[in-house]
Copies of this chain bind each other. A is one copy, B any other.
Amino acid sequence: MTTAPVDVDTARRDYAALVERGLSLDITRGKPSPRQLDLSADLLTLPNGQYKAEDGTDTRNYGGLKGLPELRRVFAGALQVPVDQLFAAGNSSLELMHDTIAQAMLSTLPGAPRRWADEPRIAMLCPVPGYDRHFALAERFGIELIPVPMTETGPDMDVVERLVAEDAAVKGIWCVPKYSNPTGVTFSAEVAGRLAAMPAAAPDFRIIWDNAYAVHHLTDDEPELADILALCAEAGNPDRAFVFGSTSKITFAGAGVGFFGASEANLAWWQSVLSKRTIGPDKVNQLRHALFLKDADGVRALMRKHAELIAPKFAAVDRILTEELSDLASWTKPTGGYFISLTVPEGTAKEVVRLAKEAGVALTPAGATHPYGNDPADAVIRIAPTFPELAEVEEAVRALAVCVRLAVAQRA
């Protein structure tokens, strides 16, 4: 990226004209659009009177801690977790991640010397730019957040290996391994292999493998993701990975099903703590999903329809950024997932977000992609183009470009 000089007067005039228009647009969060949600309209009448699971279980009643086998089977392949090692749970994988960490705080994990609440210090590695809710979840438990740089192939493994080998307080690393939030990067096989095999000072080190976008392709060029559970087992660290996924961006964002997969030892631990918390998940909703999605092909067909709706929005962002900001900024060109990561000249991201807000365009706060909201370069802005209509996305990104040009001009 070059940073050609921007004419301040032009930038000011353009921005004034923008404010004049009184826009009200929002590209902050990775939410599916109403049209995407319409794709799963059948869920609003299913299970259509049916309540028996394939094994005869009455889904309306208590029980079934692991979730319905027929739904776990639909997602075992996509999440790369053997069916027997995959739990289907409530409506959110975020809460599953939260709860595995909360339970690790309060109940000794397999391999752990003690419960995390009794550790003098706990830290987790946070590839940046990354997912703000991961960071907030960990920070809230008093866990120290250590940023590590993302590369084109995943987190910088030289840095990760050094920190994990040296510091026994480092208990985990946050990963969105496929179509990463917000960079769109899919971890390479080499990165996954090194994560699985690296020596860890903490015997209870965990990889939080948030495979949120496992099937969320925007193109037919689908990257292969390494099987982290298998790699960990092969490397002699069978209990190292916690795998998460959900249907939040497949069916309904608020009324889907979350999944948790791990080793037998981790699952025995999980089942023992979970059984004190609940008598079982909402199996009717799981049946509803199993009947709707049917199998992995059903998921694949549904995701193609999602791509048809959202790929044009990603293309529009790329096109407009190319037209407007080629001289000033760089951005990712993801082939899946929900985000584009825009890198503006150092020291301008916060100002861009502020200017955009005043012009009626809501952006995720600058810095949100970094632990403690602190992007030292003040350069990363996350763009979430899925929720608004295409025309609104276009308008928002053109407005964003005006704000970038002004912020850069003001700084110069």
A249-305 with Cβ < 8 A to chain B: 252-255, 273, 276-285
Tell me if A316 counts as interface (CB < 8 A to partner B). Answer: no
Alpha-carbon distance A248/B92, docked complex (angstroms): 20
Q: Complex formed: what's the CA distance from A43 to B281 in Å?
A: 17
Q: Pick the contact of A60: B37, B58, B282 (CB < 8 A).
A: B37
Is A48 interfacial (CB-CB < 8 Å)? yes
Residues in B whose Cβ lies below 8 Å from that of A273: 140
Q: Closest approach, in angstroms, between the C-beta of A118 and any C-beta of chain B? A: 8
- Does any Cβ of B come within 8 Å of A64's Cβ? yes
Query: Cβ of A45: which chain B residues have Cβ within 8 Å of it?
Result: 45, 48-49
**A29 at interface by CB-CB < 8 Å:** yes
Docked CA distance A276–B95 (Å): 8
B-contact 0/1 string along A101-132, CB 8 Å cutoff: 01101110000000001100000000000000
Query: A50 — which chain B residues lie within 8 A by C-beta?
Result: 44
- Select which of B105, B137, B253 is within 8 A of A61 by beta carbon: B253
- Give A281's nearest chain B residue, CB to CB: B91
Measured CA separation A276–B253 after assembly (Å): 17
CB distance from A95 to the nearest CB of B (A): 5
Whether, in the assembled complex, A63 has its beta carbon less than 8 Å from a beta carbon of chain B, the answer is yes
Residues on A lying within 8 angstroms of B by beta carbon are 29, 31-32, 34, 37, 40-41, 43-45, 47-51, 58-64, 90-92, 94-95, 98-99, 102-103, 105-107, 117-118, 133, 136-137, 140-141, 248, 252-255, 273, 276-285
Are the C-beta atoms of A253 and B285 separated by less than 8 Å? no
**Which residues from chain B contact A253 at a C-beta distance below 8 Å?**
60-62, 279
* Nearest Cβ on chain B to A247's Cβ, whole angstroms: 12
Given contacts A62-B248, A90-B91, 9 further A-B contacts (CB under 8 A): A29-B62, A31-B61, A37-B58, A60-B252, A90-B90, A102-B102, A106-B106, A117-B118, A255-B282
The 8 Å CB contact of A254, one of B44, B60, B107, B276, is B60
Docked pose: A44 CA to B49 CA in angstroms: 5
Nearest B residue to A257 via CB reads B282
Pairs across A and B, CB under 8 Å, 28 listed: A29-B62, A31-B61, A34-B61, A37-B58, A37-B60, A44-B47, A44-B49, A44-B284, A45-B45, A45-B49, A60-B252, A60-B255, A62-B248, A62-B253, A63-B254, A90-B91, A92-B279, A95-B277, A99-B277, A102-B106, A106-B117, A117-B117, A253-B279, A254-B282, A254-B283, A282-B282, A282-B285, A285-B285
CB distance from A278 to the nearest CB of B (A): 5
Residues of B within 8 A of A49 (CB): 41, 44-45
Q: Are B107 and A106 in contact (CB under 8 A)?
A: no
Q: Give the complex CA separation of A136 and B137 in angstroms.
A: 27
Contact of A284 among B60, B94, B254 (CB under 8 A): B254
What 6 A-B pairs have minimum CB-CB distances, sorted nearest first?
A255-B284, A98-B277, A60-B252, A117-B117, A37-B60, A91-B282
- A252 → B minimal CB distance (Å): 4
Tell me the minimal C-beta distance from A206 to chain B in angstroms: 18
**Known A29-B62, A254-B283: A105·B117 in contact at CB below 8 Å:** yes
Pair B280/A254 contact, Cβ less than 8 Å:
yes
- Bound form: Cα–Cα A282–B91 in Å: 6
- A284 touching B252, Cβ below 8 Å: yes
The answer to whether B60 and A95 have CB atoms under 8 Å apart is: no
